[in-house]
Structure 1
Amino acid sequence: MRSTPELPIRVLTHNIRYATTSPFKGERPWAERRQLLLNELGYHARHCKETFICLQEVLHQQLEDIRAGLNPTTGSSTQEYAYIGVGRDDGHQAGEYSPIFYRPSVWDLLHWETVWLSETPSKPSKSWDAASTRIVTIGVFTHRTTGDTVLAMNTHLDDQGSRSRLEAARIIRAKIQEYQHGQYGGFISGTFLTGDLNSQEDQEAYSDLIGSGDLRDTFKLLDASRRYGNIITATGFGYEEESPSRIDYVLLATKGNQTWRVDGYSVMPNRFDDAVFNSDHRAVVADLTLVG
């Protein structure tokens, strides 16, 4: 049961670019980008203990690097951060993860699962016109102090298949409905979906998720005069033929007992004076509040 009227939560989503062995022109190897990403995550999560860090394109070694970086050796037997998620190719460690990092001292993990965005969602697979296997990572978290329960979802949709993106959006909406009316539905206080949808506002996945009325875009829930930073989220490394675009989102459920307020929205830089892109995407940070 809620013990306080409001609960501030920060949600960060970032496609960190997988650790390729064949970098694009303008792209630095993961070994040179790693600390820049860790500094970013630490900075944005430092002062809000309720932060969820949602990442895409994370290979297993990158996952281990990030987990180690978020959990510096302090002599304590407990780690500050844990994560949920699996490699999409085999359900274990192979292929890209879409992990959600959180602080176990703040959030009690009640349940989590990985769903494959295909016609066989319970096992590693791809369907329709998808070029790659795609997943959504789902977690149910209860705040240890207030008792608020959050349904957190993180995904990365296909970059090639238009139909697969549309079908994936439908699967995700169905999972939201399943959770809202299932075992945890009676006490889910808020639901968010993060990720790289590979879909702009006029394209299939975004149009389905938002047009259905099931979800709303935090970018649009805050007046433009109060947003901070950039609008574009996918920049490339400076030499790609594709135009930069806004395809990375923090979306909020709007039905049932979902009670979010958006207090802040920002798209952060991915390159500074050192001229090194920490990724070909920029991080999106949403400051949210669960209200009574």
Structure 2
Amino acid sequence: MTSIASCKQVHGRVVILLAFVFSSIVLIGTATAQEPLRVLSFNLRYGLANDGDNSWDNRKDHVVTTIENYQPDVVGTQETLEFQAAHIGDKLTEFTYAGRSRQKDGKGEHCGIFFRTSRFDKLIEGHFWLSENPDQPGSKSWDSSLPRMATWLKLWDRTNQHAFYLINTHFDHRGANARAESAKLIRRFVESLPSGSNVIITGDFNAGVNSGPYTALFAEDATASPATPSPVVDTFAAMNPDAKDNVGTFNAFKGTDSGARIDWIAASRKIEILNASIDRTAFDGKFPSDHFPVTAELRLPKLE
């Protein structure tokens, strides 16, 4: 006959064993859970512009605070000059910067990318120009007023143990045809990446929703047989399908939001979009840039 004392002893061992198994399951689940990725796209405004009270020196720390407050994991910046990137990097030392000038001589604006050093390893860095000769630095085509480019990285996410591509770009502000062709070029680049790649695009596209560039990037390709959907979706539209008014992202340093939403974050279709918004942070009525930064919180799919 088994004594009450021995039963209690066995029961205690079972409880401990079950607790161990349960805690192991929790730990395994935690280890494989995909941590969200916080993305920010921010046109900084050309740092040498004659903007008076809104000159770079008067707002550079507001730019830093805006980025810091959102706590992004990756940031795509446009109209970025070297000294602007250096100031942000000096203040936000947790980030590594990648970028180069759009001009052949190395002077001029970057489409820069900041990424959180503690989380990501840079596997590949690349650049191409929005032209008929994309591998030629400083090239421009169509009706583009200036050389335009895209910077891209392949990053290894140590937290989630997978890689993804981040592309940051800035379309021409004058050439309508150049913007449309640039969108097609970006889409072709995404489609050329290895099948199943996770891709995120940030940028100032100088074009609103339902424009030619927007359609070229996001609409179904009806010329293909069969017709194929775009490899990426507009994160803001996906999360805010009914938002039509007061979504402008160019604010002219005045906080105006009645214009077009020209700053976008796009993501691969299999990426889960948790949130997407427009950051209208101001400092005593002053705005850090003439564009509102735009944000997205994403969850990349688990590895099979």
Identify the TM-score tier after normalising by the shorter chain: 0.7 to 0.9
Counterpart residue type for residue 128 of structure 2:
V
SS in 1 for 2:187: helix
What are structure 1's unaligned runs of at least 5 residues?
Answer: 72-79
Is residue 54–residue 154 contact of structure 1 (8 Å, CA) maintained in 2?
yes
Is residue 35–residue 159 contact of structure 2 (8 Å, CA) maintained in 1?
no
Counterpart residue type for residue 40 of structure 2:
L
Q: Please tell me whether Structure 1 or Structure 2 has the larger radius of gyration of its CA atoms.
A: 2
Is residue 207–residue 260 contact of structure 2 (8 Å, CA) maintained in 1?
no
Is residue 247–residue 258 contact of structure 2 (8 Å, CA) maintained in 1?
no
| Per-residue CA distance 1:202-247 (angstroms, 9 max, x = gap) | 211111101132221111221558x9xx62211113499x962210
Other-structure match for 1:115: 128
- Mapping for residues 27-38 of structure 1, pairs under 5 Å: 28-38=54-64
| 1:198 aligns to 2:195 (yes or no) | no
Other-structure match for 2:250: 234
Q: After TM superposition, what 4+ stretches of structure 1 lie above 3 angstroms from structure 2?
A: none
| 1:103 aligns to 2:124 (yes or no) | no
| 1:7 aligns to 2:63 (yes or no) | no
Match of 2:190 among 176, 184, 198: 176
Question: 1: CA distance between counterparts of 2:120 and 2:105?
Answer: 24
| 1:219 aligns to 2:236 (yes or no) | yes
Other-structure match for 1:125: 139
Is residue 16–residue 58 contact of structure 1 (8 Å, CA) maintained in 2?
yes
Question: 1: CA distance between counterparts of 2:152 and 2:208?
Answer: 23
Shift of 1:145: 3.2
Question: 2: CA distance between counterparts of 1:152 and 1:13?
Answer: 11
Counterpart residue type for residue 236 of structure 2:
F
Is residue 112–residue 168 contact of structure 2 (8 Å, CA) maintained in 1?
yes
SS in 1 for 2:111: coil
SS in 2 for 1:17: coil
Is residue 10–residue 285 contact of structure 1 (8 Å, CA) maintained in 2?
yes
| 1:280 aligns to 2:296 (yes or no) | no
Other-structure match for 1:77: none
Q: Residues 243 and 90 from structure 1, CA distance in 2 versus in 1: closer, same or farther, beyond 3 angstroms? A: farther
Give me the TM-score of the superposition, normalised by structure 1.
Answer: 0.83
SS in 2 for 1:100: strand
| Per-residue CA distance 1:14-63 (angstroms, 9 max, x = gap) | 11101134227xx5110001000001111111xx6xx1111101111111
The count of residues paired between Structure 1 and Structure 2 equals 262
Q: Residues 191 and 281 from structure 1, CA distance in 2 versus in 1: closer, same or farther, beyond 3 angstroms? A: same
Counterpart residue type for residue 295 of structure 2:
V
Identity %: 31
Give me the TM-score of the superposition, normalised by structure 2.
Answer: 0.80
Query: How much is the aligned-residue C-alpha RMSD, in angstroms?
Result: 2.4
Match of 1:210 among 196, 212, 218: 218
Is residue 193–residue 252 contact of structure 1 (8 Å, CA) maintained in 2?
yes
Tell me which of the two structures has the higher relative contact order, counting C-alpha pairs closer than 8 angstroms and 6 or more residues apart: 1
Question: 1: CA distance between counterparts of 2:67 and 2:167?
Answer: 18
Deviates more, 1:121-130 or 1:152-161: 121-130
Is residue 112–residue 151 contact of structure 2 (8 Å, CA) maintained in 1?
yes
Other-structure match for 1:160: 174
Shift of 1:277: 2.1
Question: 1: CA distance between counterparts of 2:105 and 2:259?
Answer: 32
Is residue 199–residue 206 contact of structure 1 (8 Å, CA) maintained in 2?
yes
Question: 1: CA distance between counterparts of 2:68 and 2:124?
Answer: 26
Other-structure match for 1:261: 272
Q: Residues 42 and 239 from structure 1, CA distance in 2 versus in 1: closer, same or farther, beyond 3 angstroms? A: closer
SS in 1 for 2:132: coil
What are structure 2's unaligned runs of at least 5 residues?
Answer: 1-28, 221-229
Is residue 270–residue 281 contact of structure 1 (8 Å, CA) maintained in 2?
no
SS in 1 for 2:58: helix
